Structure 1
Amino acid sequence: MHANLSIIRHTNPRVLFAAFCLSCIGYYTGRLSTFSEWPTYDGRLEWKLAEAERVTITVQAPQVTVQGPQLTVHAPQATVTVVPKAPEVAVLNGPPTDAFQDNLLPDVQYITTWPGAGFTNDVMSFMNLIYLAVLAGRVPILPFFTPSHISLISPVDVPDIDFGQVFDVPRLAKALRIPVVEWWQVKDRNTATVDPLGCWNVWEAVAEQHKTPHFSTAPQKLNLDISYTTAPSWIKLYDGPQSVNDPHMRFTSLMALSFPEHRGYNLREPAKSPLLGASLPPDERLMCIDNMYWTANVEGYEFQHDHSAAWRLVGQYLHWNPRIEVLARDYIGQALGLPADAAIPPYIAIHVRRGDFKDWCHRPVDECFAPLSAFARRVDEVKEELARVKGIAVEHVILTSDEKDEGWWAEAVGYGWHRIDHSTTVATYGAWYPVLIDTAIQSEGHGFVGTELSTVSLIAARRVTAWQRGVAEANSLPPNPILHSGLLCLLLSLSSTAIPMYSSPTAFRRANVRVFCAVVFLSCAGYYIGRLSTPARWPVPSDNGLEWKDSKAMRVTFTVQAPRATVTVAPKAEEVMVLNGPPTQAFHDNLRPDVQYITTWPGAGFTNDAMGFMNLIYLAMLTERVPIIPHFNPTHISRTSPDMDVVDPNFGEVFDVPRLSKVLRMPILEWWQVKDRESTTVDALGCWNVWQAVGEHHEGPHPSPAPDTLNIDISWTIAPKWIKLYDDKDAGDEPHMKFTALMALAFPVQRGHNLRAPSISRHHGLVLPPNDQLLAFSPPLPLSWAFLNPSSVLTLIYAKQYITIHVRHGDFKGWCDTPVIAECFAPLSAIARRVEEVREELQRVKGISIAHVILTSDEKNRTWWEAAAAYGWHRVDHSATATTYGDWYPVLIDTAIQSGGKGFVGTDRSTVSLLAARRVEAWNDGVVRSVMWGRAGADDH
């Protein structure tokens, strides 16, 4: 007795503490396990909606028929401008050809991948492909679906099925405003011609255990002979020894490989193709990737997360082929016993995946799958939420499953659930259609209950929440035995440390067994309580409020005489409202509750701020928010005009905002439209401090006077360090960050995970987390030229036959570590040599002879300008510009002139030169060069 009491006295405090901690760990592990973890599973196309020539006609009191509700009205004489239907943009040479290369246009670039992971996983792969095509400015060529899974369960041979037989490709292309092509449109299905093609092998690059490219039968069926080049390992999403076999890769890394620079850096010896024995590098015009399923931006299994760009920007617009929609509604009507012409009532769909999941079960099957009673409980929860949130009373429930056991189906029907009758589907429509019809039915309901770990359920849930604004839940599988064995090992190691050494081995063994059993029991109890306390759910779609569309006004059809014709007129559509009205005293009063916004602040100099605002607009596109652009701050200009009061110009005074908004098909606001410039109201706002997050020696957010100018009182929250572009320790204060990381912070889950104590605002003394509705970042943001240009022209295009030079001397002198300035800057002779190179290339490649050269520079030395004039170069006279237009205008006019020529010679390391060069290349298809600093510029040939 004394021995036992001694054991208790010695062990009780430690054991109780360990048991309490481990039971808490079990509880939270249980909770976290309910958040569904899905199985490990430079030619650029400038796509524009071509606008046909406008035709103006005068009509005499025509009879007008409005399409839609039938009504007829009479109008007086009117002049109407008609826009005929514009021709479609051609992205192929014509009908399918024997050799695919013969059908590709020389000025268009393409991208493709292969199926082979099962129908739903291939759908996700193709969504990823299209998203990557958007990032890379390429035309996606979509292959067919192969019956890799369906053929295993079908009693008949299953043919391939085209992507366009399953999904509405024209609707997708129109929504995304990009062309979407299928392989059958490129290459003749019946040709015997074998085409060699170089492709990237990413499957082998991301995991050491992968020894070949990802398998697919599609290339063989297309008569493509593939030579694979293993991609660089830096495409991996995760680094480190623990991730050597994690197959996830990063979208932006694959995007970089689509451009000549990174492609060239990362070429290695290709494998020989199996048929022709050809060794081909990855094709430049048709980028080919062996597998796209595992691609992500921020974290693995990204489709389950609210910030998934591939889903938000592509997947939600991928609707069913109209034929499948009609068939699905017919089958729903039959299942519910409705008359043929009856409307489909609201219903909840269930997807129970059991078939191939049985192969993962290493114990009795009933212990691997949730009982039907659990699904019934989830159905009731969905019904209650639909009634509470949407006011919808749902009576009908439709069950879909791959289960073959009729006893199981009989039990399910006992709950009053309806079953789809597929007894004649295969014979009538084909082996693919039971799956396609069931999948379409799952997505059409107002509610959905799915199976955890099933990608079929995952995508169905996302469709229900996005298309129907419905409610979706996942029914968890029973606890994972592998997870539990890992927990038991952990518990064993921890519990043994809590027991002191005893003089009696028997006492130790008894105590050890008792303690171990108690701890395991408490931990498992915590785990199960945790799981039961939180039902698994799919992320609600990122309803950022703004669904930005080109609003279409009602079309009017009428008939006119001379000659007689029927004309369809589309009146000007109303603009989408993204503010409550005119500028308000407090900016919060002008923000609409159903719209979300994003902003940043200037403070890095004119050109750098212009780049920062481009980045902001691109981030707004990624997050589906409305950008609010601040004014420019005269950080640099005020230094050259110290005696003048330099006024901050608005973004729209410099750039053509309506034109940019129209090209990007998104609203763009400026702060003066949101908040009254004369307002003295001080608004509080929580913002992300990214500057301090990316630099170890950055103290506080990046300075900017803009918030004070706008009377905004900021409470800053330091962003997480994983926003940094470079993870290694040597990066130090390297300030680059990832767009996709900032994108993730715009959504509730990652925002919530990464909140920390905010700073106290200076004016009100408030402590505010980053604002949900108006997402604000401290400058600077990462660079994004490729996404806003060349499609967005931010200023007037000067189609002049001249070459521009930009020589930056002024503030660069501060970086010169030698007293002899000439050793820091290239001589004029080096610049003249570059000008001649540009002239020669323009003559040789474009047949253009350029006589005029315009020199722009911040140099003040008159002797230098006289030496430049000796080369015959022209100088812009700004003697009266500042007094006539304002202090900003010498810089603005010079910048516009730099972007307008057919050629450009700039200064190495100058962002002014960098953007001017990109504009000349993108807007004018021009030729550019740069001159290096100092003697290197003179000696560089």
Structure 2
Amino acid sequence: MANGNIQYHPLKTREGGSSLPSRSRSASPISTSRLPNRLGSRISIVKAILLVSVSFMVLALVHVSYSVQYEGGVTSTGSAAETQQQQQPPPAQPVTPPPVVPVVSKPAPVTPQEHRPSVEPAKPLVTPPAQPAAEKGLIISDTELITTFQYENGTESRVFKPNFFENGAAAKKELGSFLQTLATRSWMVHQLEHKDQGGTEEEKEEEQRENDDQEDDNHDLNAVPSRYFSYLPMGGGNNQFTSLQKAALLAKDLKRTLILPPISPNSHIKTWAGPRYSQFYDLESFTQKSGISVLEWHDIKMTPENVPDGFGRQWEEFSEDFPCTPNGGIGVSDTSLYDKFRHQFLLKYVKTIAADDKTEGKSTDYKYARDVLLKDTAIVAPAAGVAPLANGEIAIDPNMWKCLSCPYFLGGPDVSPRTWAEVGVFLRFNEKTEAMVDDILDVLLGPAIEGEPTTTAGPVIGSSSTTHKAFRPHPQFIIVHLRRGDIVNKCPVGMTEKDCIVQIEAIADKIDEIEKVRQTEALKALKKTMTEDDPVSNGRNYVHKRLPVLVTTNEQRREELDKIDRLEWILLDHGDVEKDENGQIKPSMTKKLGTETRFGPWYPPMLDAVLLTRGDYLIGMANSRMSILATQRGAAWHNHKTMLM
């Protein structure tokens, strides 16, 4: 070529579609004027390749360094050199540690809020000891002596380790003093429920003023804060309830908060510990209706529910002093104290007789006991405001604590009416317990049939948080409380059993009288709808349907139980179904409810007490405290017909 340049021929396209360069080239020498440009292009390409390679190598090194640090648990990120520096041994001289940088992990995929798993609480640092399978609570405290669990409903329980029972002094220190707890802790006092505010602003302001006035009135009824009253429970469950009523009346008169012992073990139920009253009763509604502030000992001092063998003989080594004024002779000497409440809460009775008590703790007059306790109720500076003593404890206000050994024996002209009208009528069973009785009636009577009269529905009581639902509808029924057992053994010497206790035949006659009255009333109602053209309404084909009869009793004698069976009464049986050697269920004259096995020994008598209030007709025994309470409850709460024989 004339110009000496390389000729670039255009690409030729083959028939198959691919493009290849032509092999025809000029033999002219290469021009040196284009060589630098070509070399520069090649050098740029090499630099780019090297830059990319170096970049990939740096990224790889960073990735390896990060992976080693993350997997090894290092809390700071950085290059491989920094990691190597962290792994070097520390210098001989102490240096200021660098600030800790949190580990940066890969972000988790974003999940909608409703699908995110809940965050599990952190595990305790101390490895907990093996616990029984029944313990389902979260461990909130674990010491050498005690593990404390908290449950979903907010309650707490303590499990005492063997070390607790081997060192009485350390155990007492671990538990602390109930007086110190009362002196330093603030307790909520329930108020009467507010009215729902609505309407105009003026109406709301007026309702607010009414609510404020209501709170002021209720404050006068409630106990003064930081002042408490308690007692020792005595006797069986129903006698303990009588003590509770009189103690609550005393707390009201003394303007103190009642500290309620649990239902104490007794000659009928022999266990180490008793349950809270709130397990069966609605204490919140009680406070709101009666104006009597209540605490339970479980809220103040948690102690073991199950103890090792032999601990009953040494429990006083772990106990703190329990100052209390004797009453009715109970507590004048230690030998007359037969309650199990003190054992459960590790309280050692200490007799404190007021100077004004000239009877030395033997009086049973309610007014006298109240006046003696009122003598030293002057309000002084609260204990929480007193400077700690040398040993770190808080000085106790001597007026903060009052106790009476046995309010059961207190009497007077108006005590019994007041205890029911101001206390007992407001202490209702809680909704859970009532629902369990509905379950029993479902088994024994079945659901109500349309058109038949049903038992009276439970009234709505309490605030919105403690509202009782109406009972499930069941057929009307008669219930009998047949007190036997220990009553038979208490008959006076020389008196026959027939003259001592009410016989089943006499109760059957009383039920016949009830049915005659019912039949007469039913016929009167039927005559109002009679017509001459309706022979059925004339009574010729009228059939009176008798009510089912339920019986709760502690009778064990076979001949007496056979009488009940022949009368076709329904006997409440909380026992278990029995099976023969082949595994077949043995025939039984009763429907086995299995209550005690499923719920424990405290439920059979408590559910019987609720059932007695549900009967449209109740026949009780005049010599039974349980019958007396049942007649009061059934008549006041449900307007049922009740009688004592």
TM range (shorter): 0.3 to 0.5
User: Which structure's relative contact order is higher, taking Cα pairs within 8 Å and 6+ residues apart?
Assistant: 1
TM-score (normalised: structure 2): 0.45
Question: Bigger radius of gyration, 1 or 2?
Answer: 2
